[in-house]
Amino acid sequence: MTSHQAPITAPIPAPLPTRTRIGAVVGLLFLSPICAEYLIGYDQIISDPLDMLTGLLVLGPLYGTVAVLIREVARRTGRGWPTMMLLSAAFGLIQAGVIDQSLFNPDFVDEASWDDDRLPTFVAGLGVSVKHVVGFVGGHVIWSFCAPIGVVESCVPRIADRPWLGRVGITVMIVLYGLGALVIFKEHSKQFLATPAQFGTVGLFALGLAVAAFAIPRRFPRRGADGRGGEGRDEGSRGSGGRVPPSWAVGCGAVVLMGAHQLSSPGWGGVALNVAALTLAGGALLWWSGRPDWGPVHVLAVCGAALVVNAALSFVVEPLGDTSPVVKYGANAVLMIVVLLLLGWAPRRLRHIIVRPLEGAHLS
């Protein structure tokens, strides 16, 4: 008598609730531009709450759609944070080098502080300030895209590793991004236009980053003691063992390194410190997140630390232009409260998820 074993099939994921998906997309659409432009309070718009609200009509399409699309592409292709970080760097280059051209425009801001920040590391042959390249691109990677993605995913942990949009939604995001980018490009091109060589160079570097984002090997999840775990090594290789620091220690370390990034001086020494801080942060995350005890709470600790750093620095940052101190500090306080409430709510959401591996929710 021959016994037959029934074929083993992968479980079919439950349909995603529409309200949850749309809520997550809308949350990311707004959190991304708020983190990118408002949280640190560098611009005079911080003293005009009405302008801040209406500004989201342009900044949402410019930043929020990119964050949504980066996340969507990574999750649909079964990839994680390395891909999202490289795509974020590519879009950050496009934003600073093509759309608003802040990398090349010597008069982008009509303030003496602009030249004080730009000139010490200005390379005449390239027409760019190295500090601006590191600061602008690094800022977009952390605050415009990756930190908002990590925080929003922590608020919806059951669908953190799943796509949120269909074809129609993706098309809408692309169209909105195109419109937002066109508005900003036309506005900033009235007084200054980068050279074709500068546009071409930025395009080539951005393309290289995008190719690298999909050329790097994918990682596969490994279970930790709590059943969640971090991503393992590349397919066919062994995952790394060992413990990871507690999430609070990871968050504190992230605060220190991101603070060093934001507070680095304009000279070459400051650039070296900036690059060292970003390299140390990236290396530590890649090392620890390959271990089985790395989980979603660690991701939230890193991404939440980014929000806290800029929200705290906003109280000592002097905005460009004329501002009302009362309104400025009031806006800073409101944004800090919102950040703290959001970071207080997200861990509660994480504690209630079903214990299972979350493939896409790891910084590795």
Q: What is the pLDDT of residues 61-73, one digit of tens each?
A: 999 999 999 999 9
The answer to whether 25 touches 165, Cβ cutoff 8 Å, is: yes
Query: Residues 10-19: what's their mean pLDDT?
Result: 63
* DSSP per-residue letters across 327-347: HHHHHHHHHHHHHHHHHHHHH
Residues facing residue 122 across a β-bridge:
129
Q: Which range, 18-22, 36-40, 229-233, 319-323, is most confident? A: 36-40
Q: What is the pLDDT of residues 297-352, one digit of tens each?
A: 999 999 999 999 999 999 998 887 778 888 889 999 999 999 999 999 999 998 86
Residue 118 has pLDDT above 50, yes or no: yes
Residue 182 has pLDDT above 70, yes or no: yes
What sections of 63-221 are H helices per DSSP? 65-76, 81-94, 112-118, 130-139, 147-155, 167-188, 196-215
3-class DSSP state for residue 162?
A: coil
Q: Which pair of structure tokens corresponds to residue 220?
A: 């596969």
pTM value is 0.87
Residues facing residue 231 across a β-bridge:
221
Residue 219 has pLDDT above 60, yes or no: yes
pLDDT at position 241: 56
pLDDT at position 230: 52
Residue 107 has pLDDT above 50, yes or no: yes
The chain-wide mean pLDDT, for the chain, equals: 86
Q: Which pair of structure tokens corresponds to residue 277?
A: 């801080």
Tally of CB atoms within 10 A around 342: 17
Q: In residues, how long is the chain? A: 364
DSSP class of residue 119 equals: G
